[in-house]
């Protein structure tokens, strides 16, 4: 037996139309850093598994946070229409942020949809704040903060 754990979470991935535009949110507001970028690769495994139509041009970035390398990716699809995902939304990333007020203000300044803040109650009774933000491509990011003084 090798001792390798059975499952390890590697990263989340969102499909976007324009990676550079998406990075104004993921880098500029949320603080991710691009740690790897690769342009179009016609042999990419993403083409069949995301069911990307023929004629699309791909772009791909891996994003990191301090102490959390390569935890997020964006797959850009150009030259073909990307139809909207039907509701209800089927996925989200959830981020613990130090300053939700700044993240909300910066997101609104980019013209992104910011949902009304909700009250978060954790499984162990701590109370915090949670806010949904929708990126340029209708991907949901939920941010939260649980104050330390509990």
* Homologous superfamily of domain range 12-79+89-145: 2,3-Dihydroxybiphenyl 1,2-Dioxygenase, domain 1 (3.10.180.10)
Spatial CB neighbours of 7, under 8 Å, sequence gap ≥ 6: none
- Cα 2 to chain center, whole Å? 33
Q: Domain extents for the chain?
A: 12-79+89-145
Interval 9-21 mean pLDDT? 94
Residue 150 has pLDDT above 80, yes or no: no
For the chain, give the mean pLDDT.
93
Strand partners, 96: 144
Spatial CB neighbours of 134, under 8 Å, sequence gap ≥ 6: 112, 113, 115, 140, 141
**pLDDT tens digits along 33-80:** 999 999 888 888 888 998 888 889 999 999 999 999 999 999 999 999
Contact by Cβ (8 Å): 78, 59: yes
Helix or strand (DSSP H, E) at 100: helix 100-109
Model pLDDT, residue 149: 55
CA separation for the pair 110, 102 (Å, rounded): 12
Q: Which two tokens stand for residue 23?
A: 């990075």
């Amino acid at each position: 037996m090798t001792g390798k754990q059975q499952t390890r979470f590697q990263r989340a991935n969102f499909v976007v139309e324009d990676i550079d535009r998406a990075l104004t949110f993921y880098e500029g507001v949320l603080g991710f850093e691009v740690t790897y970028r690769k342009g179009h690769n016609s042999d990419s495994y993403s083409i069949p598994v995301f069911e990307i139509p023929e004629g699309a041009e791909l772009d791909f970035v891996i994003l990191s946070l301090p102490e959390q390398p390569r935890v997020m990716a964006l797959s850009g699809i150009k030259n073909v229409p990307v139809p909207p995902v039907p509701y209800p939304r089927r996925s989200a990333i959830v981020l613990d942020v130090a300053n939700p007020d700044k993240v909300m203000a910066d997101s609104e300044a980019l013209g992104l949809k910011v949902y009304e803040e909700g009250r978060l109650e954790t499984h162990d009774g701590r109370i915090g704040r949670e806010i949904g933000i929708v990126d340029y491509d209708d991907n949901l990011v939920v941010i939260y903060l649980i104050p330390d003084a509990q």
